[in-house]
Amino acid sequence: MTAQEKRVSKKTQATITLVVASLLSVTTLTVLAVKADAQPHHDEFHSNSNAAQRQAAVQKATTVVENPLGKAGALAIMSDPTNPAVQWFEHFDQTVVCYMKTDAEAAILTRPFNQEVERVQHWTDTAGKVAVKYKYLASVLRKIEVPSGYPGLKDYCNLTADWYADSAEVYDELIKPRRAARTMEELDDGLNAIKNKAQGLAEMQKKLKQMDVSLRMQYGVHMREQEDALTKYVKGTKEQIRSVGGNPSR
């Protein structure tokens, strides 16, 4: 390998790593914390209390305090299950979770190559698998029926499908065979085109997240259960349920 070819190879690896990093932006969900004031103990049930006091005490003790988490809102964990928007988002969320990158795949795609051929091959194989999943997911999302009377859901679904389809194309561009660049300028032009597309997808992902939260707030839908830390805390993870002898529903 000539010195120029080595420089081209190193530059290619460095640029691919930068492109992948821009694709794999992580969106952080904000968790709502609800703090309840502790109520001091009173002896309303003391035998010397009169009937009116006892009745008032019973009413107070049996009154269910409104749970702010039960209200319709972006982080509500108790959304109305009969709400068509809630049903649609839950189906949408489950579909996306089934075909998105696994934690292992995400780790492989962000791992540095360190000039190791095995890592490059592992990255290439993983990127190919993710591209196939993303293409299929995009086709599935475009076929999901949207309930009438809920503006914005169809556009959000189609834009999300476009994002996964475009992301798959970027992975395909990075791994498909291509003729060797004649010059460094030609190589730079090709890699910069992929880099710019990846950066555009990262910005689009942020906009989609904002759109997701806004629609959930508008229609009283909880956040995605697989990502909402508050829902996980209340319902428990599968591992936590098993640890106390439960049988997780899914």
Q: What is the pLDDT of residues 212-242, one digit of tens each?
A: 999 999 998 988 876 655 555 655 554 443 4
Asked if residue 47 belongs to a domain, the reply is: no
Asked if residue 187 belongs to a domain, the reply is: yes
Closest CA to 230 of 88, 25, 26, 67: 67
**What pLDDT was estimated at residue 9?**
52
243 or 92, greater pLDDT: 92
Asked if residue 73 belongs to a domain, the reply is: no
The confidence band for 52, taking pLDDT boundaries of 50, 70 and 90, is low
Mean pLDDT of the chain: 73
Q: Which domain holds residue 163?
A: 81-238
Give the count of domains, the chain.
1
Asked if residue 122 belongs to a domain, the reply is: yes
Asked if residue 105 belongs to a domain, the reply is: yes
Asked if residue 149 belongs to a domain, the reply is: yes
Closest CA to 106 of 223, 165, 27, 41: 27
Asked whether residue 15 carries a pLDDT value surpassing 80, the answer given is no
Q: Best-predicted range by mean pLDDT among 3-7, 50-54, 162-166, 214-218?
A: 162-166
Q: Are 204 and 163 in contact (CB under 8 A)?
A: yes
% of the chain at pLDDT higher than 90: 42
